[in-house]
A and B are shown apart, each in its own frame.
Chain A
Amino acid sequence: MGEVAVIQYPGSNCDLDTLEILRDVVKARTDLVWHKDLAHDNYEAYVLPGGFSYGDYLRAGAIAATSPSLRVVKEAAEGGKPVLGICNGFQILVEAGLLPGAVLRNSTLRFVCTWTRLRVETTRTPFTNRVERGQLLEIPIAHNEGRYYLDNDQISELERSQQIVFRYVNEKKEATEDANPNGSIDNIAGICNQKGNVMGLMPHPERASLPVLSLDNQTDGRVIFDSMMRMLHGPGA
Chain B
Amino acid sequence: MTPGSYVVEVIVENKPLARDPEGETIYQNLILKGGYNQVTSVRAGKLLRMNVEANSPEDARAIVRKLSDDLRIYNPAAHTIQVRVVG
Residues in A lying within 8 Å of B, measured CB to CB: 58-59, 62, 65-66, 94-95, 100-102, 104-109, 149-152, 183
Taking a contact as CB atoms under 8 Å apart, the answer to whether B77 and A107 are in contact is: no
In the bound complex, CA of A29 to CA of B72 (Å) = 35
Taking a contact as CB atoms under 8 Å apart, the answer to whether A62 and B21 are in contact is: no
Taking a contact as CB atoms under 8 Å apart, the answer to whether B21 and A102 are in contact is: no
Taking a contact as CB atoms under 8 Å apart, the answer to whether A59 and B21 are in contact is: no
In the bound complex, CA of A109 to CA of B24 (Å) = 11
In the bound complex, CA of A104 to CA of B15 (Å) = 12
Partner among A62, A65, A94, A183 whose Cβ is within 8 Å of the Cβ of B19: A183
In the bound complex, CA of A100 to CA of B75 (Å) = 10
| CB pairs A–B below 8 angstroms (19 shown) | A58-B46, A58-B73, A66-B71, A66-B72, A94-B75, A95-B75, A101-B77, A101-B78, A102-B18, A102-B78, A105-B21, A106-B21, A107-B21, A109-B21, A109-B22, A109-B25, A151-B15, A151-B77, A152-B17
* Known contacts A94-B75, A106-B21, then 13 further A-B pairs from the complex at CB < 8 Å, ordered by chain A residue: A59-B75, A100-B77, A101-B77, A101-B78, A102-B75, A102-B78, A102-B79, A104-B14, A107-B19, A108-B21, A149-B18, A150-B77, A151-B17
Q: Chain A contacts of B22 at CB under 8 A?
A: 105, 109
In the bound complex, CA of A106 to CA of B14 (Å) = 13
In the bound complex, CA of A183 to CA of B20 (Å) = 11
Bitwise interface map of B from 3 to 33 toward A, beta carbon under 8 Å scored 1, else 0: 0000000000011011101100100000000
Taking a contact as CB atoms under 8 Å apart, the answer to whether B77 and A65 are in contact is: no
In the bound complex, CA of A65 to CA of B14 (Å) = 20
Query: Top 4 nearest A-B pairs by Cβ distance?
Result: A102-B78, A102-B77, A102-B75, A107-B21
In the bound complex, CA of A183 to CA of B18 (Å) = 11
In the bound complex, CA of A235 to CA of B73 (Å) = 43
Q: Chain A contacts of B17 at CB under 8 A?
A: 151-152
